[in-house]
Amino acid sequence: MKRNWLRAILGGLSFGTMLFVFEACYGTPQDNAGFDVLVQGKVKSKATGQAIKGIKVSAVYSPQFQYTDDQGKFSFYVYTGGTFALKFQDTDSIQNGTYQSKDTTLYNARDTVFVDVALENN
Amino acid sequence: MIRYIKREIFRGFKKHETRVHPLNYLFWECTSRCNLNCLHCGSDCTKDSSYDDMPLADFLSALDTIPHTSERITVVLTGGEPLLRSDIEQCGMEIRKRGMHWSMVSNGYLYDEQKHIALLNAGMGALTFSLDGLEENHNWLRNAKNSFSKADRAIDLAVKSPRLNFDVVTCVNQRNLTELPAIYDYLIQKGVKAWRLFTIVPIGRARHNPDLFLADQQLKEVMDFIKTRRKLSLIDVKFSCEGFVGTYENQVRNGFFFCRAGINIGSILIDGSISACPNIDRSFAQGDIYHDNFFDTWQSKFKPFRDRGWTKTGQCKKCSDYNDCLGNGMHYWHGEKENVLVCHNEKIKCASKN
């Protein structure tokens, strides 16, 4: 802790926080934003309770999405300030059944959130 | 006077940072395969590498020796070309799940929308693409006729993502030197926020091609270009951390020169070697993950990186700027290490005299 204080004081006196934000030669900038949340979950049928494969899970206002796997599971990082929305869509026509879309908003999400969703049949 | 005080405090900061050596930045040379055959490659990478890609489990075993601390660590996936790994998303996801951040250096050739989304899903937070000129010059240096259009597409995807701390790097050489203003305009028009300029190190394939290296006056031109464009603040253009640039210090970068190799920057190389930046001579390796505990090695070894006194030889021996430079970047010491390969400071001084 003492070392971190000394670092901060010396760094602040000379140039500020940029002393701790550097990129190596032939490296990348550091990841300074880091406000991301791991969203994990499972999509199943409300009628049967069975897992649904191939449901498109999208982060609203973002290009990110993922399709559920054989067990209806999905898992991806979402960039967020804490509140974000997910959209669940059946986009594979009649494959794996047909289901209604659903939107879910998550508030004050941090680190990891688990979202289990049941979709109604069309 | 203020500049003098800042420099003195910065010297203190460097000493303290060297003593504490917190690991903030870890390169993983996850493959040495590459889909391009660039003229300036310092790694001599080819499509067929003599090394297999390092298994993810091997890397994670080393990563798991790092204790959970308040230090923010970014793992930088590099190569070769990291996108040649079919499990690149899984690699990123496993790193991120361990609470570390991750990023990637790429030539952008294989970076399409599908890959972009998959990598964001895996928690990628920073990204660097190479762009070594406009179409003709980029394709020439990258030795591939479509490489500019591929890089152009990749840049378009990256700039649209608010998640990514993204920049473009350019290796300045004889051919693209006069093109820098045009590249600058191109990047601004694309919406790129940050641009880093490098010179090419005479190692690997590059050492056989003198057209890649800048004369003294040309290096000074690069410094002047960066200095004037930085004042406009249209893009965060800077010189890389590759070397000490004398009178241009604190004018072409955010702060003074500080080679953090082995101080804040470590690496796990393709053969398991533990070192710092991948372009540093492999003889500096401090151990290997197959025989040594990675974090113990980081904590207890790395003496040549943390005590640079051995660099006070050759032309550095009597240099009046040695205390600020400490032998330039570590990657400029190769072979017998009797002299630094390139002294930016001397080149700039020579150019200023003429």
Give pLDDT, residue A15: 57
Beta-strand relationship, B101-106 and B124-130: parallel
pLDDT at A16 over 60: no
Which CATH number applies to A36-119: 3.40.50.720, 2.60.40.1120, 3.30.230.10, 3.40.190.10? 2.60.40.1120
Q: What is the pLDDT of residues B61-82, one digit of tens each?
A: 999 999 987 678 999 999 999 9
Q: Which residue has the higher pLDDT, B208 or A30?
A: A30
Pairwise CB contact (< 8 Å): A26 & B70? no
Most B CBs within 10 A among A2, A17, A25, A110, hence the mutation to make, goes to A25
Residues of chain B contacting residue A79, judged by C-beta atoms under 8 Å apart:
120, 162-163
> From the list B70, B165, B255, which residue is nearest A19 (CB)?
B255
Say whether residue B251 is in contact with chain A using an 8 A CB cutoff: no
Taking the CA of residue B166 and the nearest CA in chain A, the distance in Å comes to 7
Cα A52–chain centre separation: 20
Give pLDDT, residue B210: 83
Give pLDDT, residue B209: 84
pLDDT over 70, % of chain B: 98
> Any residues with CB less than 8 A from the CB of B316 and at least 6 apart, and which?
B322, B325, B327, B328, B339, B340, B343
Taking the CA of residue A103 and the nearest CA in chain B, the distance in Å comes to 19
Most A CBs within 10 A among B68, B113, B117, B163, hence the mutation to make, goes to B163
Say whether residue B125 is in contact with chain A using an 8 A CB cutoff: yes
Cα–Cα distance for residue pair A19/B10, rounded to 1 Å: 9
Q: Please, are residues B247 and B3 in contact by the beta-carbon 8 Å criterion?
A: no
pLDDT at B173 over 50: yes
Please state the domain extents for chain A: 1-32, 36-119
pLDDT at A77 over 60: yes
A5 band by pLDDT with thresholds 50, 70 and 90:
low
Tell me the average pLDDT across A11-38. 74
Say whether residue A7 is in contact with chain B using an 8 A CB cutoff: yes
Angle between helices B56-63 and B88-97 (to 10 degrees): 20
pLDDT at A1 over 50: no
Tell me the average pLDDT across B150-179. 95
Give pLDDT, residue A12: 63
If you measure CA to CA, which chain A residue comes closest to B158? A63
Pairwise CB contact (< 8 Å): A27 & B78? yes
Pairwise CB contact (< 8 Å): B165 & A32? yes
B255 band by pLDDT with thresholds 50, 70 and 90:
confident
Which element (helix H / strand E) includes A66?
Answer: strand A65-67
pLDDT at B231 over 80: yes
A10 band by pLDDT with thresholds 50, 70 and 90:
low
Residues of chain B contacting residue A11, judged by C-beta atoms under 8 Å apart:
13
Q: Which of residues 68-97 of A touch B (CB under 8 A)?
A: 75-77, 79
Give pLDDT, residue B28: 98
pLDDT at A20 over 50: yes
Q: What is the mean pLDDT of chain A?
A: 86
Q: What is the pLDDT of residues A58-73, one digit of tens each?
A: 999 899 999 999 999 9
Give pLDDT, residue B143: 86
Give pLDDT, residue A8: 66
Q: Mapped to the 3 state alphabet, what secondary structure does chain B carry?
A: CHHHHHHHHHHHHHHHHHHHCCCCEEEEECCCECCCCCCCCCCCCECCCCCCCCCHHHHHHHHCCCCCCCCCCEEEEECCCHHHCCCHHHHHHHHHHCCCEEEEEECCCCCCHHHHHHHHHCCEEEEEEECCCCHHHHHHHHCCCCHHHHHHHHHHHHHCCCCCEEEEEEEECCCCHHHHHHHHHHHHHHCCCEEEEEECCCCHHHHHCHHHCCCHHHHHHHHHHHHHHHHHCCCEEEECCCCCCHHHCCCCCCCCCCCCECCCEEEECCCCEEECCCCCCHHHCCEECCCCCHHHHHHHCCHHHHCHHHHCCHHHCCCCCHHHHCCCCHHHCCCCCCCCCCCHHHHHHHHHHC
CB atoms within 10 A of CB B86: 8
Q: What is the pLDDT of residues B267-303, one digit of tens each?
A: 999 999 999 999 999 999 999 999 999 999 999 999 9
Pairwise CB contact (< 8 Å): B103 & A28? yes
Give pLDDT, residue A3: 58
Say whether residue A2 is in contact with chain B using an 8 A CB cutoff: no
Question: How is residue A53 annotated by DSSP?
Answer: S
Taking the CA of residue A12 and the nearest CA in chain B, the distance in Å comes to 10
pLDDT over 90, % of chain B: 82
pLDDT at A79 over 70: yes
Q: Which residue has the higher pLDDT, B138 or B2?
A: B138
What is the side-by-side strand order in the sheet with B165-172?
A: B236-239, B194-199, B165-172, B124-130, B101-106, B74-78, B25-29, B265-268, B273-275, B287-288
Tell me the average pLDDT across B38-49. 65
Q: Please, are residues B215 and B200 in contact by the beta-carbon 8 Å criterion?
A: no
Question: A2-16, B160-174, B246-260: lowest mean pLDDT where?
Answer: A2-16
> From the list B20, B25, B255, which residue is nearest A27 (CB)?
B25
Q: Please, are residues B192 and B185 in contact by the beta-carbon 8 Å criterion?
A: no
Give pLDDT, residue B72: 85
B349 band by pLDDT with thresholds 50, 70 and 90:
very high
Give pLDDT, residue B39: 81
Q: What is the pLDDT of residues A30-68, one digit of tens each?
A: 987 668 999 999 999 999 999 999 999 999 989 999 999
Q: Give ipTM to 2 decimals.
A: 0.89
pLDDT at A74 over 90: yes
Pairwise CB contact (< 8 Å): A34 & B102? no
Most A CBs within 10 A among B76, B264, B344, hence the mutation to make, goes to B76
Residues of chain B contacting residue A69, judged by C-beta atoms under 8 Å apart:
none
Residues of chain A contacting residue B329, judged by C-beta atoms under 8 Å apart:
25
B206 band by pLDDT with thresholds 50, 70 and 90:
confident
Tell me the average pLDDT across B104-118. 97
Tell me the average pLDDT across B317-327. 96
